[in-house]
Amino acid sequence: MTSPVYLDHHATTPVAPSVFEAMRPYFTEVFGNPGSLGHAYGWQAQEAVGTARAQVARLLNAAPSEILFTSGATESNNLVLKGLVGARRGRSTHIVTTATEHKSVLDPLARLSRDGIRVTVLPVAGDGRLPLDLLERSLGEDTALISVMAANNEIGTLQPLEAIGRLARERGILFHTDFTQAAALLSLDVQKVPVDLLTLSGHKMYGPKGVGALMVGSGRSGAELIAQLDGGGQEQGLRAGTLNVPGIVGLGEACDLARKSRESDAQRLTTLRDHLKETLAAALGDLRINGTWTHRLPNNLNVSFPGVDGEALLHALPEVAVSSGSACNAASGEPSHVLLALGLDPGLARATLRFGLGRPTTADDVDFAAARVIEAIRRLRPVSPGMDTPVAT
């Protein structure tokens, strides 16, 4: 069997060839522990980590000293949320977020809420955007943190980071954003956009799995966190454990690559994404585009197909690698919490495909995928009784 056309780049991306080549020596040749500072092997590893730290910082226009390395965005998000609460022990702490955040934000906040921390989960508008007036009304004297992702991993919706950051800064509140899905395609200058804490993950931006970063903007906000892993004092005492040098080198190279190519990548993928949408709409008509079209990741298309059984739809597309939502939710079988937050009923939420285009995606890939989806929808609708009635785009 030939490999299916891969349009699931929100779940993970292939490691870029230049990233792989940058990592290669650090598995077998330059294998030292960056904490071993008594010999050349450790010095070489330490230098490589320092270079990567500067590369990540350059992507965000941050200071290298503000970059900490973790195992990925999930760990980084947990460190922000639990670390902040730990640092504020004994003080009243209120955290505000949205209903469409990644589970690596919502689940830690649910745990903190059970432990007595006041958490407000705000609804979003029908297009997935957070209404700023609603956010402002939710803030109180004890609000310590606003956590809102830059770009949604399912519907691609971009949140108004600059406006949220300004509001947070005016109220003396820390602002955290999960930048994971946006890092490969969109620019963010933390000297201009008031972001205090930012997380990203290597494998969502053509880097390796198992490595990520957390920016702690100490120079701007004075954010205090308590480590969630103790045992070695690495990463300014905030994340103990021997550093993953090959992974960190790969993350640094991926950040450099993104900085150089994100504008051209975004333009090309927007064209392909729009063509995919127009092809599906022209052939099928009755479909629903989820999320705002004007404030959206250039590589994202999230479409619901009324009148179709969702499970049957995915099974009908063996030649196209797509998903119905977040990879982190796939095992549960539950409809997407993001789509439910937009107001979709569970049946329509299940009858949804998330297309995530990427650097390797070609026009032929898009045409092939569109043809297979159109064929599957036309075949399934007549044999899916009792499903949702058509919804206009």
CA 318, CA 166: separation in Å to the nearest integer?
Answer: 46
Bridge partners for 216 per DSSP: 197
Of the residues 328, 371, 374, 391, only one is catalytic, namely: 328
Identify the residue whose tokens are 């092939």: 368
Dihedral angle sign, alpha carbons of residues 38, 41, 44, 49: negative
Rounded (10°) CA dihedral 212, 218, 224, 226:
40
CA 139, CA 97: separation in Å to the nearest integer?
Answer: 11
Of the candidates 348, 347, 365, 300, the residue with the CA atom closest to the CA atom of residue 326: 300
- Compute CA 245 distance to the chain's CA centroid, rounded to the nearest angstrom: 23
For residue 255, indicate whether it is catalytic. Answer: no
How many angstroms separate the Cα of 254 from the Cα of each of 18, 55, 72, 228, 362?
8, 9, 14, 26, 21
**Do 329 and 299 meet the contact criterion of CB atoms below 8 Å apart?**
no
Pairing of strands 212-216, 67-70: antiparallel
CA 43, CA 36: separation in Å to the nearest integer?
Answer: 7
The residue count of the chain comes to: 393
Bridge partners for 352 per DSSP: 304
Identify the residue whose tokens are 């297009």: 127
Known catalytic residues? 328
